[in-house]
Structure 1
């Protein structure tokens, strides 16, 4: 049977499955949503470049809980702070499921913390949080690692000597070295060719996942596997990252001292040995490889992209940059390394960093959740095997939560006296039991790295503030900021 005949047959099979699914859906009181076509669902109604905006439009017609079909996959979208909070926090146990996102399933072989459920997820999450905290995440020890890495960062920026440069991979190297210390027990030289290769793969993988073809893979994986395209290159590159991780695990095995664990991998290997005779253990080699992959990827790109975006914002709004520098100079000066205790005395700086995260909206969809059983929510039934999208974009840009949601405005996080104020709708790390495990680490990195840079440099762009476009270059699975060659002028 040739390829075209195979695809036609597969299409017919899925059309029949679609009819069965729609017929089965009739026995549930599903949340309302727009009419869908067989196989392709609501895809023709959704802009491939900014799909989350169309999901918000659907909610205006159908309410904050909307059923849409992404291809033939039934999906329930939660729109706005109230719906997202009610699901992820108030009904947390019903919404802990993680969807089998095809791209991540293939990249991780179905193992690891990121997309696991049930007992695997519970065991790996508890262990990961405990181990990362033991090695200083959110504590003084980790603060010192970040401070030390900030010195490498500022020294490298000094080498630009006021000429324009692209900070993308410099920031990736800086941020990645922090998670590398936690996971691999070592930092890498900024000129390490293998390290640079891995960071380039991570960057390109995120771009692919946020591109239209990456979206198509997640919707029609069975079709994309048989078609030529970038998806095959992306998976080949992910194998390179996995091979690197396997090599590091082997090095750890050969030098392991169970009485003195050096990092996350050592702790996992020790736990593997302790539970090797327990049939239900989740501490085995495949989960180790894929969880380290989860941590390496998540701990590199999102934070470095946020810092890069922050620099673009400060160039776009030089008065904000100047006000931050004045506050930093008054509280810390230009020599001493900032620490997290300083944040209390830098309310404007803290507000700007929070507003950068809100405005960038780096994961507009969050990572999709999944109904592991029939879920009752707001008078509706979300059937088992339904993908659930808590639309973080709709929370971070919700008009009733933010005074000027579509403008960059640090006052969103300041009270009338200029003191920092929290906003419950600030959810860039999601919420509930599947919130980002590295949230405290990311907060530390954003604060210390950005303050360290502003202590020593003023940032600008050859074409001036008007040359900076703050809209994302890619906006789907992730919102990736545009790249600019910037100028760092020593102060």
Structure 2
């Protein structure tokens, strides 16, 4: 009798366990079903919990995105650890979404990494679409224009930096060297002159500390990415390194910005406006009695941080690609130099006033923007509201990835896209031919704030350096790869070169 009762009890417990498991399965399946809006775009299958993370946790994720577009079409869905992302591929789709229906896709996601970088969602770069973002973007652009942003009188500051750059190159003699730190120094000093009103000497201790922070940050390996995107894993050994590193690097920049802001307050003179910080101090003072204003010191620090980091990282990365393609293509370098010398000679400082007379140089820089594509997935957008796009439902807050790589490496528009060829942008008469399919700065209302400055910097620095130097690979050195690495941007792999002064 006892045995019968035991088996009956065991069967009953198993039935309860099975029923519980079935109910849990039904619960999770139902939750998943109702938490996933219907009529989303198609996309690749993913793993439970992590989604498609393992397919994207590599240094060439833009190529994975591009391959998926060939399978699932120009609009598809991926899942990154529970975060739904819609990927837009191809020029027509990206242009329609971001330019023609731009307000629908003009926000920023609040994902794991943005929560680390900007938890209060202030500033411009990672702030959501809305009134504060519009006000500060408009105000920042207006203020920067007062200090020459995008105007020819800005050329003097860029030329000053180019002369300092040349002096550093001359110190290297005929020795091979990695030019990346010099590039960072020069580009950072240009943005410093606009934001802080002055430049640094390259040997300045504070400046060196800031540049070291650039080198330490924004480069994530696989395990670092796991800790960044999956907060629960940060408690495991080694997994908390990524978020900790990001916070340390951001802390270095923000401490410097706060010091500059405090110092400017002490010497502020409304009759002598020196830079963007002074503009913000003046504006903040004018709104002191407005309890609803977003013009506060905290917001100003975030905007200044956005300008400082974005203005340095993207342009320095692009300029480093310039040197890579120059040493790999000596014939192209020679043609650019010939054009520079025909227009400016060997001593007259270059100026954008003569840019129209330099079609080959213009074509070279355009091809550089296409081939390098330093933001292959652009800066992630987010749907500003529930949106219907090409028959698909895209809920508010959904991360939107504009795959610029798919535009720049479209073989239908750019035959043999892997080849570096400025001739793509020259007509039969050798004149420059603009192509709207080259969009390295993005499109729409979130287009890069520093586009005009970056274009001016690249033109002035490249022409002034090639006016005085020829850049070559060291004797016997293997050719560096043109396959970039994804970190904060799509960066060229490290290489060394030799700078040969021109007589």
User: TM-score, structure 2 length as denominator?
Assistant: 0.90
Structure 2 residue aligned with 1:148: 160
Residue 360 (1) aligns with residue 372 (2): yes
Match of 2:105 in 1: 95
Are residue 345 (structure 1) and residue 362 (structure 2) matched? no
8 Å contact 1:203–1:301 — kept in the other structure?
no
In structure 2, what is the equivalent of residue 115 of structure 1?
126
1:433 equivalent in alignment to 2:450 = no
Deviation at 1:18, TM superposition (A): 8.2
Change (3 A) 1:36 1:17: farther
2:461 to 442, 445, 449: 449
One of 399, 402, 407 as aligned partner of 1:387: 399
Supply the distance in 2 between the matched residues of 1:80 and 1:357 (Cα, whole angstroms).
Answer: 17
Q: How does 1:24-43 map to 2 (within 5 A)?
A: 24=34, 26-43=36-53
Cα distance in structure 2, aligned partners of 1:213 and 1:358 = 31
Larger Rg: 2
Specify whether residues 100 and 464 from structure 1 end up closer, same or farther in structure 2 by C-alpha distance, changes over 3 A only.
farther
Secondary structure of the corresponding residue to residue 442 of structure 1: helix
Tell me the distance in 2 between the aligned counterparts of 1:36 and 1:377: 23
Separation of aligned partners in 2, 1:142 and 1:17 = 62
Shift of 1:213: 4.2
2:115 is matched with which residue? 105
Q: Residues of 1 paired with 2:285 and 2:126: CA distance?
A: 24
- Aligned-partner Cα distance in 2 for 1:322–1:218: 45
When the two structures are aligned, how many residues end up with a matched partner?
474
Equivalent pair of 2:224/2:241 in contact (CA under 8 Å):
no
Name the CA distance, whole Å, in 2 between partners of 1:464 and 1:359: 26
Partner of residue 293 from structure 1, selected from 280, 305, 313: 305
8 Å CA contact 1:348–1:420 kept in 2: the answer is yes
2:61 maps to 1:51: yes
How far has the Cα of 1:214 moved from its partner?
4.9
Judged with a 3 Å threshold, the aligned counterparts in structure 2 of structure 1 residues 21 and 159 are, in CA distance, closer, same or farther, namely farther
1:294 Cα deviation (Å)? 0.9
Maintained 8 Å contact 1:28/1:383: no
What's the CA shift for 1:401?
2.1
1:75 paired residue number: 85
| More displaced 10-residue stretch of structure 1: 303-312 or 227-236 | 227-236
- 1:301-312 map, 5 Å: 301-312=313-324
SS in 2 for 1:292: helix
1:264 counterpart residue number: 276
Q: Distance in 2 between matches of 1:314 and 1:44?
A: 35
Tell me, yes or no, if the aligned pair for 2:85 and 2:401 is still in contact at 8 Å: yes
- Scaled by the length of structure 1, what TM-score is found? 0.92
CA change 1:311–1:487 in 2 (3 A) is: same
Aligned residue number for residue 243 of structure 2? 231
Is the partner of 1:78 in helix, strand or coil? strand
SS at structure 2 position matched to 1:459: strand
Which of 135, 148, 156 aligns to 1:136? It is 148
Deviates most, 121-130 or 161-170 = 161-170
Where does the alignment leave 5 or more consecutive residues of structure 1 unmatched? 1-14
- The Cα shift of 1:439 comes to 0.2
- CA distances 1:17-63 after superposition (whole Å, capped 9, x unpaired): 98677423554311111223321112233352211211122211211
Q: Is 1:190 the counterpart of 2:198 in the alignment?
A: no
More displaced 10-residue stretch of structure 1: 136-145 or 459-468: 459-468
CA-CA distance at 1:466 after TM superposition: 4.7
Q: What do the CA deviations read for 1:168-216 (whole angstroms, capped 9, x no partner)?
A: 11111111111001000110001102101101212322323xx434543
The CA distance in 1 between the partners of 2:386 and 2:200, in whole Å, is 47
Contact 1:66 1:77 (C-alpha < 8 Å) held by counterparts: yes
Q: Cα RMSD over matched residues?
A: 2.0
SS in 2 for 1:372: coil
2:136 matched residue in structure 1: 124
Among 327, 342, 356, which residue is 1:330 paired with? 342
Compute the displacement of 1:277 (Å). Answer: 1.8
- The CA deviation at 1:148 is 1.5
For residues 396-448 of structure 1, the C-alpha deviation after alignment (integer angstroms, 9 at most, x for no partner) is: 11122212212111112111211111111111000000000000000000010
How far 1:485 sits from its partner (Å)? 2.3
**Alignment check: 8 A CA contact 2:228 2:242 kept:** no
Mapped contact 1:315–1:468 kept (Cα < 8 A): no
